[in-house]
Structure formats: structure tokens, C-alpha cells
Amino acid sequence: MNRLASFVHRLPPAPVLLGWLVVAHVVLKVLLFPLVWSAPPHGDEQAYLNGAMALSNALRDLFSFHSPDTAELDRNVVASGWFMPGMSIVVSPLYVVLPDAGPALVRGYCGLVTLAIYVAVLRSVVRVLGHRWAVALAIFPGLVPMWAFFGYGAWGDLNAGLVLVLVVLRLVEMYRTLRRGEAPTLRDGLVLGLLSVVTLYLRSSTSVLLLGLGVVALLAVVVLLRGRARLRAVASAGLAGVAFLVLLAPWSAYASHVLDARVVTTTTVATSKANTFGDREQVCFGPCDPDSTLWFRPLRYAREVARATGTSEVDVLKEMSAYARRDDSLGGYLDQVAHNMAAYALQPAVFVDHVVPEDGRGAFGTAGGFVVMGTTWLVYFPALLLVVAALVTVVRRSLEARVVDVLLKLCLGALLIQPFVHVAGGRYWTTAAPFLGLLAAGFVQERLVRTGRLPAPASGVAGPADEAVATWLGRVQVLLAVGVAAALVVLLVAVVI
């Protein structure tokens, strides 16, 4: 910590440092582009791009005063309801202008979109939390090579994490407004609702998190305000909810219509639970057709059953999932969760070997891939250790630091629900990456303040109301730390036994 404090004091002013870090991020992305520019879509990317092409065709039809091809939209945008159409919407303008865009144009376009969102997030962090927090975010994940590498992908995970940071910043601003005894404006509620639904469209697994943050915001309104201010704040929160639901409704209604079943976000949970926690030899009420992938085998079977019985493939998949998991045990479930968690958190660079040109990278590209993996590990794992330490400790340096700490931990905790219900892999950490960086930075700052190596900020407690908030935040922080420690122990025991 002494060396770290000395290093921190020798750094240039935070605004200057932030500028150089952004430049370094841009340089890093430029250096990485040759590794990915000719790589064809991998896995889920193809589904997102198919949806983008279908949407672009529909837009061209509308501009030409023709009826869109609804069959193409059904087949490529909804398909089996596995993916929210956020990234398809993001990429569709490229295909409107360049219908035959190849991998290089698609990946370059995705890289520019991600860079624009990243810079916008850094500016918002500066405005709400200050330059130091923005510097932390610019270092991690901004200088993590694999995170920059993923910026060229057509998955929505990375962008969802960035937009989620904007949601958290809005909540911090809302807390400041509530603390002054004022109600957030209707515009504040509208913006919060819009940012939340954009996050959901980019990554459907954020639904539980967004619901939780909504409940937290509503509780804060009820506790911190009185009288007319409370009513105005509830109205603002209500507008956020209405905006969220109104923008979600078109997708839910359309997907439900196409699949002839109730679909709120996506339909993947049932199949994923069957493949992840059930007996894979019983997913199709017995062995599935071996001439297909793990995900399409049950889907093909469910469609056949649905056609034969006049039901929905979504309902059939739920029954298949329940059948495959009928003999699940708690020990087996926890063991699989532990493996999912390891895949989620301990394989940050595995996709270097997946996103490659059809003919390979050659000697130079292969060496570049090893450099990306090695440097990613060097940056990622020390930060991960700091995050684990942050999750089992409590921040006390100021009232607002407590608020930020609780919001970050709630977000990360909710994102880590995925390994408990869904197969996990080495790309999903990109959604959590900004929160990993901010939590690691918060832990380091807390330790430097506690040891006197950085001056302590003002406590921010200015009256009985603030004291009550600080007390409750402290209790929540302790509860979160105990919960994380208990979860880690349980999963470790499950692996060992």
C-alpha cells in the first residue's frame, strides 16, 4: 500500500490522466482490430446479425412504401425467442446503408459504437462521481485487452454493462436529490426508464437486476421524502416504470404472437436449465437427435412435439426441462453452479480462440492472440482479487461512498445470478466488467484512506436523517458481505466434496 500511495501521488492530475487513458484505449483498439476484422460471426453473433439484416430489409421496405416481409422478421428477429433484439437494432443501420457489409465493416462498426458508448459513460462518471472514478473505469476495463477485443463483437453483453453504469449514475443523482428533500423530475424518471429498457434489450439477464434497482429506488423515495415531494417522486418513479413497460411491450407482444406463448423477454431459461443442471440424455424425454448442437437438438424436438400436439414449442421446452431435472440433487446443483461461476469469472480471454478468421490468423496473429490472453490475465486477475476483498468488506469513508458501494455490489450480485440458473462462459464477465473496476478502485481508496495515505473525505452526515441512512446502509453492507462470504464457502465446499 505504501508503494501504491506513492505511485498515486506521482500521477498527473486526474483530468489529464483520464485523457491519456482514453487515448491508450483507442490505441489498444486499433492494435487489436487486425486480429478480428476478418473473423466471421461466432455463435450468438450470427443470430444478432441475422436479426439486424431482417430489420434493415424491413426499414427499406417501409421507406419504399412496401409491406415488410413479416415472415423474415418472424424467422430472424424473434426466431425461437432466445435473444432480445437490442444488438440487432444497433447494427441494423449499417445494413441499411451497406446491405452486403462483410465481417470487417461489421466489426469496425461495432467497435465504433462501443467506443462512443464508453466515452459517453466516462463523461457521465466525471460529471456525477468525479475524475478519479472515471480514471478507475478507464483503467479497468478500459485497458483490459480482452474487453477491448469484445468491443468488436456483435454480442450485447459489453454494451449492456456500460449502459447499466448510466442507470447507476442516475440513481446516485436521484439519491442526492432525495437527500435535499426534493423530488426527481418527470424527466429524471423518463430517462431512468429509457436507460433501463435499453439495458434489458441489450442483455435480457439484467431483468432481475433492473427490477431490484427499481424496488430500491422506490424504497428510497418512500423513506427519504414526505408529503407532496414524496407524491411527485412516486409519480417520477411511475413514469420510469411506464416508459420501461411501454417500450418492452412491442417485443413481448410480437414474440408472444410468433411463438404462441407468453414471452416477456426471452425463452432460453428452460432449455439452459435442462442442459446445465439436468440429465442431457433425458432432455427430449430420452436422448435427443445426435445430429445437431446441444441447443438445437431440444428445440427441433420441441417443435415437432408442438406441431403434433397443437401446443407451443415454449411450453413443450418447459416440460422437457422439468423432466430432465426431475432427479436433481442439491449437491449436484451446487457443483454445477461452482463450475458455471468459474467459467463466468476465471476465463476472461477464452474467446481469443473463438473469434478468428476462417483460415486462421497465421504466425503474427497467433502471437498477437497469446499477447492478448497474457496481458488480459495480468490485469484481470489482480483486479478480481481486489473485487473479492471489496465484496467481503465495508466502505465507511463517506455517506455517498456507502451509497455507491451498495449500488455497485447489488449490481454485481444480481449479474452473478446467471451461473445459478444458466450456463455461463467467458464472454459474460464483460457485462460486469465496469462494476469490477469500480469496486476494485473503491476498495483501494478505502484502504488508503483508512491507513492515512490519502486524506479522508468529508463524512457527508449532516443531520439525524443522514445518520439514519448511514446506519441502514452499514447494515446492508454487512449483510451483503456476509452473504458473499457464505456463498463462496458453500460453493467451495460443493467443489471439494
Please give the average per-residue pLDDT across 404-413, as a whole number. Answer: 96
- Looking at per-residue confidence, does 327 or 51 come out higher? 51
158 lies in some domain: yes
At position 165, the amino acid (one-letter code) is: V
Q: How many CB atoms lie within 10 A of CB 227?
A: 9
122 lies in some domain: yes
Please give the average per-residue pLDDT across 107-119, as a whole number. Answer: 98
Q: Are residues 249 and 185 in the same domain?
A: yes
341 lies in some domain: no
Q: How many CB atoms lie within 10 A of CB 433?
A: 25
Indicate the pLDDT class of residue 289, thresholds 50, 70 and 90.
confident
Joined grid coordinates for residue 484: 458473499
Q: Are residues 71 and 45 in the same domain?
A: yes
| 478 in Cβ contact with 394 (< 8 Å) | yes
Whole-structure pTM value = 0.95
Q: Are residues 123 and 233 in the same domain?
A: yes
Q: Are residues 178 and 123 in the same domain?
A: yes
What's the structural domain count of the chain? 2
Residue 339 and residue 386: Cα distance in Å, rounded? 21
Q: Are residues 106 and 71 in the same domain?
A: yes
Lowest mean pLDDT among 55-64, 290-299, 386-395, 430-439: 290-299
Residue 64 and residue 191: Cα distance in Å, rounded? 33
Q: Are residues 234 and 208 in the same domain?
A: yes
Q: Are residues 7 and 101 in the same domain?
A: yes
335 lies in some domain: no
Indicate the pLDDT class of residue 2, thresholds 50, 70 and 90.
low
Please give the average per-residue pLDDT across 256-284, as a whole number. Answer: 92
Please give the average per-residue pLDDT across 282-308, as a whole number. Answer: 88
Indicate the pLDDT class of residue 468, thresholds 50, 70 and 90.
confident
| Average pLDDT in the chain | 93
pLDDT for residue 360: 85
Per residue in 66-75, pLDDT tens? 889 999 999 9
Per residue in 22-32, pLDDT tens? 999 999 999 99
**SS3 category, 82:** coil
340 lies in some domain: no
Indicate the pLDDT class of residue 358, thresholds 50, 70 and 90.
confident
Indicate the pLDDT class of residue 1, thresholds 50, 70 and 90.
low
Lowest mean pLDDT among 294-303, 368-377, 430-439: 294-303
| 214 in Cβ contact with 192 (< 8 Å) | no
Per residue in 413-424, pLDDT tens? 999 999 998 888
DSSP code of 204? Answer: G
| 73 in Cβ contact with 33 (< 8 Å) | no
Please give the average per-residue pLDDT across 134-148, as a whole number. Answer: 97
**SS3 category, 83:** coil
- Residue where one domain finishes, among candidates 287, 304, 329: 329
At position 239, the amino acid (one-letter code) is: L
Please give the average per-residue pLDDT across 405-430, as a whole number. Answer: 93
Q: Are residues 320 and 416 in the same domain?
A: no
| 334 in Cβ contact with 494 (< 8 Å) | yes
Does the pLDDT value for residue 349 go beyond 70? yes
Indicate the pLDDT class of residue 8, thresholds 50, 70 and 90.
low
pLDDT for residue 137: 98
Domain that holds residue 258: 2-262+346-455+462-496
321 lies in some domain: yes
Choose among 414, 266, 279, 412: nearest CA to 333: 279
Q: Are residues 278 and 384 in the same domain?
A: no
Lowest mean pLDDT among 299-308, 431-440, 443-452, 488-497: 488-497
Does the pLDDT value for residue 3 go beyond 80? no
Per residue in 237-257, pLDDT tens? 999 999 999 999 999 999 999
Indicate the pLDDT class of residue 7, thresholds 50, 70 and 90.
low
pLDDT for residue 5: 58
Residue 341 and residue 425: Cα distance in Å, rounded? 9
21 lies in some domain: yes
Q: Are residues 307 and 248 in the same domain?
A: no
Does the pLDDT value for residue 214 go beyond 90? yes
Q: How far is CA 295 from CA 55, 272, 342, in A?
A: 25, 8, 21
Indicate the pLDDT class of residue 462, thresholds 50, 70 and 90.
confident
337 lies in some domain: no
pLDDT for residue 297: 86
Per residue in 186-213, pLDDT tens? 999 999 999 999 999 999 999 999 999 9
Indicate the pLDDT class of residue 76, thresholds 50, 70 and 90.
very high
Residue 328 and residue 285: Cα distance in Å, rounded? 15
Q: Are residues 277 and 173 in the same domain?
A: no
Q: Are residues 78 and 131 in the same domain?
A: yes
